[in-house]
A and B are shown apart, each in its own frame.
Chain A
Amino acid sequence: MNNKLTTLIIIALSMLTFVVAQDPPPLPGAPNQGPIPGMGWLVISGLILAAKKYFGSHKK
């Protein structure tokens, strides 16, 4: 009886590691493929430059 109890306790304790085990950490995602930041500002600046030249030269 005692042996059975000991075996049961050992089995339960070893099963406990499965129950409380955590998920492995997630795999890293794909790296950011657009690492030249601020291109929007360049586009806006280009548009302002073009508009200034077009409208400025039309005024003359």
Chain B
Amino acid sequence: MIGFLVKAGLFYIVWQVVYDLVIYPDGRLDQFLAVSVAILAKNGLALFGWQINVWDRLLVIDGYRGVEVLNGCNALTLMALYSGFIISFQGPNKKRIIYLLSGIGIIFILNVIRIMAFSLATVYFQPHWDTFHEFSSFIFFYPVILGIWYQWTLLSEENTQSPSELSIA
């Protein structure tokens, strides 16, 4: 457990330093994530017949308030948080890479769905938009991330138990 805490702590320190000194000043990764999420959310809503406009990070359904995907809203921090757990918790390395990449992809897709939901919220329940925004991550992200983390701990448990099971047999 202490090993996990040390690894996780180091990971987040390194991540924070790299983000503050390299990624944030450069801005391209944040911009890419925010703009791609906005464009995909627009395309997703267009599939359902919504007339929606997108300018850079801003999504607007005609006649309603806009939704802007800010840096903190592009889920990069969440991806780092998710990765920190997978990297720090013991487990097989090949599957670790699969879990990392697929988890980051899932978070990205969930964020697109979340932004789509925010745009629809401006139409259907604008007075409660702030409340919806406040609890959106508990609806869209956290159950899924905790589910994947739980699966990862089960996988690592199987992996650490299998040699002893074999020796018993």
Contact = CB atoms under 8 A, between A and B. Distances in A.
A18 to B, nearest CB: 38
A39 B136 CA distance: 12
A45 B78 CA distance: 14
Given A46-B149, A50-B153, A57-B157, A39 B81 contact: yes
Nearest to B160: A57
Interface string B124-135: 000000000111
Interface residues of A, number: 21
B153 A37 contact: no
B157 to A, nearest CB: 6
A36 B153 contact: no
Interface stretch (B36-44, B45-53, B96-104, B137-145): B137-145
Contacts of B145: 42
B33 to A, nearest CB: 12
20 contacts: A31-B68, A31-B70, A33-B70, A34-B77, A36-B72, A36-B73, A36-B77, A36-B78, A36-B137, A36-B141, A37-B133, A37-B135, A38-B135, A39-B77, A39-B137, A42-B142, A45-B146, A49-B150, A51-B1, A54-B4
